């Protein structure tokens, strides 16, 4: 076992097409652990430290990734192969890819076999390798070190008990279908900035809302769906502004698109309004990806002294650096005119004050025209009472709530009067309260 581990350490250094995996923190700590076995001058303290460092890092990483079995190095390594960007994954996801050069295909199969051998090394193998090469000093301490699982769950790519190189074709098919790196793992992202550095954070648990969950607003959603499907098929499509009353399902509709069409290559990136100036950074990250991206801006509006709307205007209109064809902008707003306009702006048209802007009309026109730069504006208005009650009734039926119709309608009207007014959101909040209330009553009566 000692000689086999020494050979594996050298073979890992031979990785070329999958070499990026060696930058992974868990894998680096595992290799450092293997190196303590082959290093004759390494002492027991260093071995125990490397062993514990690796296992601690493995457990935390498995928890963060929500892998099916915490502390399984095989599962972690399989996940890393699937979702870490490498020349193999990046080349495969490109349009027009047919096959690798012969040397690359051979290297991929060989390197997968090397990684499979690494995944198969058990904690007992590690302990035995150390004891064989360094004697039985501190045997009790080493024997009490916790052991990890080498088992590999069937993840659809690598098959338990089979050489990993045999799964090369399945891995290539995975990259073809889902893409490379985080864009294969996640379907939704949020743009964040830490200091001067912006980054895409994948969303582990996106809102599960589906298009079939909605009641009403069929025409509005049809326009949004049709535009999105044209986009996914590579046909001309428009940027969308979803305008209307609060609580009418504008944002939820965009989120539902992701759940409906992510398997067709759709990804959504939510960009906070205050980070709109980072648009060019985002575009460069996703420009040559095979996926279709919706840049989602929720609750969009600007105060009259904000200049960040010029960044959005540049994206909508196109600047010297053209907007990639795989990107659309969908925004929601409660304001028909996205930039606040003051009466003082209009007063400036006829002002005799020397401090007022000479071309005030140009400024006012710029503020009013930002919404017009979206190709389509979809309007969501608050429902009337009957539409609101229909949403309540259908939602109650879907939840399986047994309430007399007249009682349900009366309670729903009282709810919207006391709380947030008529909207689909208010209807959902009422049903949530009603379901909880009925379950509490049922529990207290011993039902």
Same domain flag for 420 and 277: no
Same domain flag for 356 and 226: yes
Same domain flag for 117 and 172: yes
Same domain flag for 179 and 191: no
Same domain flag for 72 and 141: yes
pLDDT-derived band at 155, boundaries 50, 70, 90: low
Same domain flag for 30 and 45: yes
Same domain flag for 141 and 49: yes
Helix, strand, coil share of the chain (percent; to 5): 55, 10, 35
The bridge status of strand 188-194 relative to strand 197-202 is antiparallel
Q: What is the CATH number of the domain that holds 266?
A: 3.40.50.300
* Separation CA 203–CA 186 (nearest Å): 7
* Number of neighbours of residue 406 by Cβ within 10 angstroms: 8
* Number of neighbours of residue 124 by Cβ within 10 angstroms: 12
Range of the domain at 140: 2-183
* Separation CA 341–CA 168 (nearest Å): 59
Of 325, 350, 380, the one marking the end of a domain is 380
Using the predicted structure, report yes or no on whether residue 230 has a pLDDT greater than 90.
yes
Of 380, 402, 417, the one marking the end of a domain is 380
Q: Which residues have CB under 8 Å from 431's CB, separation 6+?
A: 392, 395, 396, 399, 401
Same domain flag for 193 and 83: no
| Tokens describing residue 328 | 């659309």
Q: What pLDDT digit, counting tens, does each position of 333-381 carry?
A: 886 655 555 544 545 445 455 444 444 444 445 555 667 778 899 999 9
pLDDT of 220: 95
Of 363, 380, 397, the one marking the end of a domain is 380
| Tokens describing residue 429 | 């909040």
Angle, helices 102-120 vs 73-83, to 10°: value is: 160
Would you give the DSSP letter of residue 302? B
* Separation CA 261–CA 231 (nearest Å): 11
* Separation CA 332–CA 241 (nearest Å): 6
The DSSP result for 191-237, as a single string, is EEEETTEEEEEE-SS-----GGG--S-HHHHHHHHHHHHHHHTTS--
Helix (H, G, I), strand (E, B) or coil at 44: helix
The average confidence (pLDDT) of the chain is 85
* Separation CA 74–CA 135 (nearest Å): 28
The domain tally of the chain equals 3
Q: What pLDDT digit, counting tens, does each position of 8-45 carry?
A: 999 999 999 999 999 999 999 999 999 988 766 668 88
Are 93 and 179 in contact, with CB atoms under 8 Å apart?
yes
Same domain flag for 118 and 267: no
Same domain flag for 101 and 199: no
309 against 349, higher pLDDT? 309
* Separation CA 204–CA 405 (nearest Å): 40
Same domain flag for 91 and 170: yes
Tell me the whole-structure pTM to 2 decimals.
0.84
Are 232 and 292 in contact, with CB atoms under 8 Å apart?
yes
pLDDT of 96: 73
Same domain flag for 355 and 412: no
């Amino acid at each position: 076992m000692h000689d086999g581990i020494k050979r594996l350490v050298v073979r890992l250094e031979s990785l070329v097409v999958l070499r990026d995996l060696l930058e992974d923190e868990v894998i680096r700590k595992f290799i450092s652990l293997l190196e303590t076995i082959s290093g004759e001058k390494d002492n027991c303290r260093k071995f125990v430290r490397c062993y514990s460092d690796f296992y601690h890092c493995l457990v935390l990483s498995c928890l963060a990734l929500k892998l099916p079995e915490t502390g399984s190095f095989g599962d972690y390594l399989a996940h890393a192969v699937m979702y870490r960007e490498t020349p193999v994954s990046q080349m495969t996801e490109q349009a027009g890819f047919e096959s690798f050069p012969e040397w690359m295909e051979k290297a991929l199969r060989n390197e997968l076999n090397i990684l499979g051998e690494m995944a198969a090394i058990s904690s007992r193998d590690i302990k035995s390798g150390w004891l064989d090469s360094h004697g039985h000093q501190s045997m009790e301490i080493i024997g009490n070190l916790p052991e990890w699982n080498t088992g590999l769950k069937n993840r659809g790519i690598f098959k338990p008990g089979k050489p990993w190189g045999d799964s090369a074709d399945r891995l290539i098919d995975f990259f073809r279908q889902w893409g490379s790196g985080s864009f294969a793992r996640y379907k939704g992202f949020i743009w964040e900035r830490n200091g001067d550095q912006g980054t895409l954070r994948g969303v582990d648990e996106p809102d599960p809302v589906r298009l079939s969950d909605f009641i009403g607003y069929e025409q509005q959603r049809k326009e949004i769906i049709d535009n999105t499907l044209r986009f996914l098929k590579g046909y001309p499509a428009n940027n969308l502004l979803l305008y209307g009353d609060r609580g009418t399902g504008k944002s939820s509709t965009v989120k539902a698109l992701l759940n409906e069409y992510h398997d067709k290559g759709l990804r959504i990136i939510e960009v906070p309004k205050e980070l709109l100036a980072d648009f060019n950074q985002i575009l460069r990250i996703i420009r040559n990806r095979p996926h279709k991206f919706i840049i989602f801006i929720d609750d969009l509006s600007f105060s009259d002294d904000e200049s960040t709307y010029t960044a959005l205007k540049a994206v909508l209109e196109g600047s010297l650096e053209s907007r990639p064809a795989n990107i659309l902008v969908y925004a929601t707003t409660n304001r028909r005119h996205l930039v606040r306009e003051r009466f003082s702006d209009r007063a400036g048209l006829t002002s005799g004050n020397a401090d007022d802007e000479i071309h005030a009309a140009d400024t006012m026109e710029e503020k009013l025209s930002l919404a017009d730069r979206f190709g389509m504006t979809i309007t969501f208005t608050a429902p009337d009472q009957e539409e609101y009650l229909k949403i309540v009734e259908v939602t109650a039926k879907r939840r399986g709530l047994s309430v007399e119709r007249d009682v349900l309608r009366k309670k729903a009207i009282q709810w919207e009067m006391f709380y947030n007014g008529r909207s689909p959101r208010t209807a959902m909040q009422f049903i949530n309260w009603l379901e909880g209330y009925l379950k509490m009553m049922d529990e207290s009566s011993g039902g």
